[in-house]
Amino acid sequence: MAVPMMQNCRPAEIAFTIMRNAGVGASELRRTRLRDVDLDSTPPTYHVAGDATRFDVVPRLIPLNADAQAAFRRAIERANGIGVRYREQFLFPFRVGHGHYDPSRPASKSWLRHQTKVLRERTGIKHLNPQVWRHQLCAEMLEQGVPTENVIGVLGRVSENMLETYKHTRLRAKQEALGMARANIIAFPGQRSAL
């Protein structure tokens, strides 16, 4: 699912679409190098590289859906346009000044702060932040019955609290589905209800 396009926020639109579809966090994405994205493999993949300085970055290989693939393609085009040329350079490089980037350094820790603020204002969703995309993906995968170990395989480090929160969402979804099925079942003679 693509995130709505935001005028003057192209890097954020790209980043949010990748986060939404690949389940990566902003800190993982800002450390992505060109070599970590392989759009020519079958399936196309994104390698989240481990980082010895951060305990919450879990190395993993993520297959890309069509939206994530398209967003990574746009990210690479953008990176090439601002001077990123080599595989070891960062896909989202550090901005030194207006229109000037240092591809040998990752984007700053606050690289999405302004764009997130703009997105909050435009949508009216005050609690919106980059982590929301991971949480939404987690909830959707659990609701669709994806096994917990596969959810963790995509999202990397996931707190038990996060999994429990969204497992309950999944349980409610199943309960609602059973409720809809129950309404369509015909009761046998002598029964008050079908179930």
- Looking at the structure, give the CATH architecture of the domain made up of residues 10-126: Orthogonal Bundle (1.10)
Q: Which residue has the tokens 């989240």?
A: 48
The domain spans of the chain are 10-126
**Rounded-to-integer distance, Cα 137 and Cα 156, Å:** 12
Cα four-point dihedral sign 78, 154, 31, 1: positive
Burial of 190 per CB tally in 10 Å (0-12, 13-18, 19+): exposed
pTM: 0.74
Q: What is the pLDDT of residue 47?
A: 94
- The per-residue pLDDT for range 105-117, each reduced to its tens digit, is 999 988 888 888 8
Q: What is the pLDDT of residue 181?
A: 65
* Greatest alpha-carbon span in the chain: 78
- The per-residue pLDDT for range 30-55, each reduced to its tens digit, is 999 999 999 999 999 999 986 644 55
Q: Helix, strand, or coil here: 184?
A: coil
Residue 195 has pLDDT above 60, yes or no: no
Q: Are 180 and 81 in contact (CB under 8 A)?
A: no
